[in-house]
C-alpha cells in the first residue's frame, strides 16, 4: 500500500470537486504535531483561483473522503491540511503474512545500464558508485514487478587493446596468460611503459589494432582470451560486492561494432550528417553556444573510426527498438551529462528511439578522499575494489572480534564479510548520488549512526529476541495494532516502505531508501527501549509487539536486500 499515493488521489479528488486546479502536494508531516501526512497543495490552488486559502481548505475538507483512512483532518496555518491516520487503517495494512511490497501497475520494461568497466584495467573505486547504485535501482524496479534488463556496457574495444595484446604476446612465453593478467592494473602499467619506451613495440601494437579491427582470427582469439580473463576479474568483484550482474548481462561495446556503419548511413540518409574537418558530425539547433557557434556531436572520426557517441546511438536503438524497453537508465558519472544530452537528442531526432521511450541519465559525483581530492591510495594510485573490500572486511573482523569474542572464528569471518561489504556499499548508497562524496574509512567503519551495521545490528537484535523467547515466527499471525506512541511511530514507519521503494524506482536515488531504513530503525530502537516485549504486561501485548518486531525485521532485511546488503542473525 502506497499511503502517500492514496492520500494524493483522495485529496486530488476533493480539489477537483471544489473546481480547484493543482496538485494535492502530499508529503510526510514535518512535525509530529502536524499529524502523519500533510497536504500542501490547497494554498497554491487557492492562489490560482484567487480565493481565500482557508475557505478553500474548508471546502476541500468537506469534500474529502477519508473516513476509512484518517482519524482527523485539520486545517492549520495558512491552509495546510494535516492528516492523522486512523488506528484501524494502520492495523488493516500491517498484517503479518501479507507481502511487504506490491507490484506497480502497469509494469514497465526498463534497461539499466550500469557498472560498465573498461576491461583493459582492473575494477577500482571509480566503478563502485555506478555498480552499487545501478544495482540497487535495478532491484527496486524488479521488486515492484517491472521487467529489468541489465546491460553491462563494458569497454572491450579501442586502441589500448592493441598495446595490451602485443604485450601479452611478448610475455606469454614465460608465464601463462592467466598468470600475467592476474594483476590487470600492473599489466596495463607495464605494457604502457613498453609502449612509450619502445617505438618498435608501439608500431607492432598499432598493427595489432588494425589486425583486430580487420578481424584477424589469431588476434581475435587473443583478444577474446584477454576479455574473458578480464571479465572473470569483474565476476569476482561482483560476487564479492553482492551485485546481481552476471555474464548474461554483459553487452559489450564491441557487440555494436557491425551496427555502427548503419548508424552513420541512417544519419546520412536523414540529412543529419555534416562533414567538419574531415569528421562526420551531427549539429543540432538546441546545442549552440551563445554566440551561435554550433556544438557538434562527432559520430565518425576523420580516419573513419567511430566514437562512443556512435556506440551509444546503436545501443539506444537496440534497447528501445529491439529490446522494447520503455525506460533506459544510465548510471555514469556526472561528467557525461552533456554527452548524454546530446546523444539522447540525436537519437530522438534520428528516430533511434521509440516515441514513448524515456532515456534517463542518472549521473553521480566523484569519490573524494578526506583531503577533498579524488580518492587515491597513499602512493597516488587508484584503489582497487578488491583491496577496498578486503580492508573493510579486515576492519570489520577486528571490530566483531572485540565486541563479540565468544563467536567462533568462522562466524566472525562471515559476519565481517557481511558487515564490511555492507558498510562500504551503504556509505555510498546513503549519499545523494548527484554530488561528490568524501570516502572516509574511519567514519564508515566506525559503524555508528546512519550506517549499514546500525541497521544490521537492529536486525540481529530482533533475531536474538526470537531466539531468547523461543518464538516461532509462524505462530505470529495477525495484525499489528499500535497502542503505545512508540508502537504507533513504528507502525507508521513500517507503512511507508512501499512509497519509498517506489521513489527509488522512479528517481534512481537509493539514498532515499537508506534514509527510510535508518528512520525505521531509530523508531524500532525507541520502541524496543520503551516497550518491553517478552515481558509485556499481557499475552496479547506481547504477541502484538512480537509481530511488530518481526515485521520490522522483515522490512529491514527486504530493504537492505534491495540495496544489495545482507543481514546476519548475530553479530
Partner RNA sequence: GCGCUCGUAGCUCAGCUGGAUAGAGCACUGGGCUUCGAACCCAGGUGUCGGGGGUUCGAAUCCUCCCGGGCGCGCCA
Chain residues 249-278 in contact with RNA, contact rule CB under 7 A:
253, 276-278
C-alpha cell recorded at residue 76: 492549520
Rounded distance between C-alpha atoms, residue 419 and residue 445, angstroms: 9
| Footprint (CB under 7 A) of RNA, residues 383-412 | 396, 399-400, 403-404
Nearer to RNA, 316 or 512 (CB): 512
Q: Which helix (H) or strand (E) holds 281?
A: strand 279-288
Nearer to RNA, 229 or 400 (CB): 400
Q: Does 33 bind RNA (CB under 7 A)?
A: yes
Burial degree of 346 (CB within 10 A; 0-12, 13-18, 19+): buried
| Footprint (CB under 7 A) of RNA, residues 157-186 | 158
Q: Does 378 bind RNA (CB under 7 A)?
A: no
Tell me the C-alpha to C-alpha distance, in Å, between residue 92 and each of 7, 533, 540, 541.
16, 22, 17, 17
Nearer to RNA, 109 or 382 (CB): 382
Contact predicate 110/329, CB 8 Å? yes
Going residue by residue from 507 to 526, which x/- string records binding to RNA, judged by CB under 7 A?
Answer: --x-xx--x--x---x--xx
DSSP code for 322 = I
Q: Does 485 bind RNA (CB under 7 A)?
A: no
Nearer to RNA, 76 or 95 (CB): 76
DSSP code for 438 = E
C-alpha cell recorded at residue 14: 476533493
Among 334, 354, 358, 390, binds RNA (CB under 7 A): 334
Q: Which helix (H) or strand (E) holds 214?
A: helix 199-214
Going residue by residue from 524 to 543, which x/- string records binding to RNA, judged by CB under 7 A?
Answer: -xx-xx-xxxxx--------
Among 126, 134, 155, 559, binds RNA (CB under 7 A): 155
| Footprint (CB under 7 A) of RNA, residues 206-245 | none
| Footprint (CB under 7 A) of RNA, residues 69-98 | 76-80, 82
Q: Does 281 bind RNA (CB under 7 A)?
A: yes
Q: Does 118 bind RNA (CB under 7 A)?
A: yes
DSSP code for 420 = H
What is the smallest separation between the CB atom of 83 and RNA, expressed in angstroms? Answer: 9
Among 422, 453, 508, 564, binds RNA (CB under 7 A): 453
What is the smallest separation between the CB atom of 174 and RNA, expressed in angstroms? Answer: 30
Nearer to RNA, 376 or 526 (CB): 526
Rounded distance between C-alpha atoms, residue 14 and residue 83, angstroms: 14
Contact predicate 77/83, CB 8 Å? no
Q: Which residue has the cell 568483484?
A: 237
Among 13, 438, 541, 558, binds RNA (CB under 7 A): 438
Q: Does 473 bind RNA (CB under 7 A)?
A: no
Q: Which helix (H) or strand (E) holds 398?
A: helix 385-403
HSE, side-chain direction, 13 A CA sphere, residue 98: 15
Nearer to RNA, 11 or 109 (CB): 11
Rounded distance between C-alpha atoms, residue 186 and residue 93, angstroms: 56
Amino acid at each position: 500500500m502506497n499511503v502517500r499515493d492514496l492520500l494524493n488521489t483522495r485529496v486530488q479528488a476533493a480539489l477537483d470537486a471544489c473546481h480547484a486546479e493543482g496538485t494535492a502536494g502530499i508529503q510526510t508531516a514535518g512535525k509530529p504535531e502536524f499529524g502523519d501526512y500533510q497536504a500542501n497543495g490547497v494554498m497554491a490552488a487557492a492562489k490560482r483561483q484567487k480565493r481565500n486559502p482557508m475557505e478553500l481548505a474548508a471546502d476541500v475538507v468537506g469534500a474529502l473522503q477519508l473516513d476509512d483512512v484518517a482519524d482527523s483532518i485539520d486545517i492549520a496555518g495558512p491552509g495546510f491540511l494535516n492528516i492523522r491516520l486512523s488506528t484501524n487503517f494502520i492495523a488493516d495494512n500491517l498484517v503479518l503474512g501479507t507481502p511487504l511490497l506490491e507490484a506497480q501497475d502497469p509494469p514497465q520494461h526498463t534497461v539499466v545500464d550500469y557498472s560498465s568497466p573498461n576491461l583493459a584495467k582492473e575494477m577500482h573505486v571509480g566503478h563502485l558508485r555506478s555498480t552499487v547504485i545501478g544495482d540497487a535501482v535495478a532491484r527496486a524496479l524488479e521488486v515492484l514487478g517491472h521487467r529489468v534488463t541489465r546491460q553491462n556496457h563494458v569497454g572491450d574495444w579501442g586502441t589500448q587493446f592493441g598495446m595490451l595484446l602485443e604485450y601479452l604476446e611478448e610475455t606469454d612465453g614465460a608465464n601463462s596468460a592467466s598468470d600475467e593478467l592476474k594483476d590487470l592494473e600492473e599489466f596495463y602499467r607495464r605494457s604502457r611503459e613498453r609502449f612509450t619506451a619502445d617505438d618498435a613495440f608501439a608500431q607492432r601494437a598499432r598493427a595489432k589494432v588494425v589486425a583486430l579491427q580487420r578481424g584477424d582470427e589469431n588476434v581475435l582469439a587473443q583478444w577474446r582470451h584477454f576479455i574473458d580473463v578480464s571479465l572473470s576479474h569483474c565476476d569476482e568483484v561482483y560476487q564479492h560486492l553482492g551485485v546481481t550482474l552476471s555474464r548474461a548481462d554483459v553487452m559489450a561495446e564491441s557487440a555494436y561494432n557491425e551496427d555502427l556503419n548503419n548508424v552513420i548511413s541512417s544519419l546520412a540518409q536523414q540529412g543529419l550528417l555534416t562533414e567538419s574537418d574531415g569528421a562526420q558530425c551531427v549539429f543540432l539547433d538546441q546545442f549552440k553556444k551563445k554566440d551561435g557557434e554550433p556544438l557538434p556531436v562527432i559520430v565518425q572520426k576523420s580516419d573513419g573510426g567511430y566514437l562512443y557517441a556512435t556506440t551509444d546511438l546503436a545501443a539506444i536503438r537496440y534497447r528501445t527498438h529491439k529490446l522494447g524497453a520503455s525506460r533506459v537508465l544510465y548510471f555514469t558519472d556526472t561528467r557525461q551529462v552533456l554527452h548524454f544530452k546530446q546523444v539522447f537528442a540525436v537519437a530522438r531526432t534520428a528516430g533511434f528511439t521509440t516515441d514513448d521511450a524515456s532515456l534517463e541519465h542518472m549521473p553521480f559525483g566523484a569519490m573524494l578522499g578526506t583531503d577533498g581530492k579524488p580518492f587515491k591510495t597513499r602512493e597516488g594510485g587508484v584503489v582497487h575494489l578488491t583491496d577496498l573490500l578486503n580492508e573493510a572486511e579486515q576492519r570489520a573482523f577486528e571490530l566483531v572480534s572485540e565486541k563479540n569474542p565468544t563467536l567462533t572464528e568462522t562466524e566472525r569471518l562471515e559476519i565481517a564479510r557481511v558487515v564490511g561489504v555492507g558498510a562500504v556499499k551503504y556509505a555510498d548508497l546513503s549519499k545523494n548520488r548527484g554530488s561528490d562524496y568524501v570516502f572516509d574509512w574511519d567514519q564508515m567503519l566506525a559503524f555508528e549512526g546512519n550506517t549499514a551495521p546500525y541497521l544490521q545490528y537492529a536486525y540481529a537484535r530482533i533475531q536474538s529476541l526470537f531466539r531468547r523467547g523461543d518464538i516461532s515466527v509462524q505462530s505470529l499471525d495477525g495484525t499489528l495494532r499500535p497502542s503505545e506512541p512508540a508502537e504507533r511511530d513504528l507502525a507508521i514507519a513500517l507503512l511507508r516502505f512501499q512509497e519509498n521503494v517506489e521513489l527509488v524506482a522512479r528517481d534512481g536515488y537509493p539514498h532515499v531508501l537508506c534514509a527510510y531504513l535508518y528512520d525505521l530503525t531509530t523508531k524500532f530502537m525507541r520502541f524496543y527501549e520503551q516497550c518491553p516485549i517478552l515481558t509485556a504486561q499481557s499475552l496479547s501485548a506481547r504477541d502484538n509487539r512480537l509481530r511488530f518486531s518481526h515485521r520490522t525485521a522483515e522490512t529491514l532485511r527486504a530493504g537492505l536486500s534491495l540495496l544489495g546488503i545482507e543481514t546476519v542473525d548475530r553479530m
